[in-house]
Amino acid sequence: MSRVVVAGSFNVDHVWHCGNLPRPGETLAGSYATGPGGKGFNQAVAAASAGATTTFICALGDDEGARLARRLAAAHGIDLRAQDADVATGTAGIFVDARGGNSIVIGPGANAALSQDFVAAQGKAIAAADVVLAQLESPVEAIVEALRLARANGAHTVLNPAPANAACSRELLAVAEVLTPNETEFASLLARHCGDSVDADALATMDGERLHRLCRTLLPRGTLVLTLGAAGCFVSHREDSLRGDGSAHYRCPAAEARTVDSTGAGDAFNGALAASLALSPAQPFSGHATFATRYAALSTEREGAAASMPNADEVAARYPGA
């Protein structure tokens, strides 16, 4: 049985669709919807939908948002391990424009209460995992504990260092076997930990050798997958650990998509990557990256975050040969 454990956040998303994203001081008319989200839950739903047996570790309040999380986890076959918190379940306000772009504000709520002790108490589930995936919408010490336990028990660890303004310590990078920043997160991490200043917007077209050197500077011992939106992703391995690939670095092009909402696309990529690593451990890493890229592309053809996650059969039908 291929197992993925996701440690992270659950939010109730409040989403407004409008023609353009509002400027400061501007009031716009739009349509409203609400549904499940949070990077952790989105990634857990993606991993489960992609075919992996999935456990989700989080913190929830005692409210309708928590009851929604429990119902949806059960509906997706996700083993929910939720710490009880004395504050409201997390929320997010999301604006989506006509081109599928978005702006997001998060109210952490219960997510900020996830404790190292509660994560440690889930040690049996983590020890049984093939892959443990985490992000940074939860306290750093809880995420370090999840990845530390995973490494101690031989599981692969994937860290999505998002959002970009979250604290990502050297201790956390040290327990990440695979790191998956987007352009903004990568530029922020380089500036914070390496003193390198790069233009996030220039990364998609940067020379591969130079980009590979920057990746090795930030994560000398692991694999870095830099997600580049419409430009796909860039993979950088340590020279003596190619994970079945023929090159230490390469680009994986984006899959064609009729984007209506990009909310959760990064989470789709991460959940699908974790599931692929768990389900097909002997496959070259390029195969995992290709599947994750296609999975994320298909998710943008649907509205919502967790609600937009496709299953593996849908990916195969949309992109033959996936």
3 marked ligand binding residue: no
Q: Is 207 a catalytic residue?
A: no
Single out the catalytic residue among 199, 207, 267, 313.
267
321 marked ligand binding residue: no
270 marked ligand binding residue: no
20 marked ligand binding residue: no
* 47 close to 160: Cβ distance less than 8 angstroms: no
Q: How far is CA 214 from the centre of its chain?
A: 21
61 marked ligand binding residue: no
- Give the relative orientation of helices 39-49 and 64-75 as an angle to the nearest 10 degrees: 20
Rounded distance, CA 322 to CA 315, Å?
A: 7
Burial category of 157 from C-beta neighbours within 10 Å (exposed 0-12, middle 13-18, buried 19 and up):
buried
Letter string b/e over residues 73-106, b meaning 16 or more CB atoms within 10 A of that residue's CB: beebebbbbbbebebbbbbbebbbbeebebebeb
197 marked ligand binding residue: no
What is the token pair recorded at 117? 């002790």
39 marked ligand binding residue: yes
38 marked ligand binding residue: yes
42 marked ligand binding residue: yes
Quick check: bond before 181 cis, omega within 30? no
198 marked ligand binding residue: no
90 marked ligand binding residue: no
* 125-128-133 Cα angle (round to 5): 70
99 marked ligand binding residue: no
Question: Smallest Cα–Cα separation from 156: which of 76, 248, 223?
Answer: 223
| Catalytically active residues, by annotation | 267
Residue stretches of the annotated binding site for ATP: 182, 227-232, 266-267
Binding residues for K(+): 261, 263, 299, 302, 304, 308
Going by the annotation, the residues of the binding site for substrate are 11-13, 38-42, 137, 267
Point out the annotated binding site. Answer: 11-13, 38-42, 137, 182, 227-232, 261, 263, 266-267, 299, 302, 304, 308
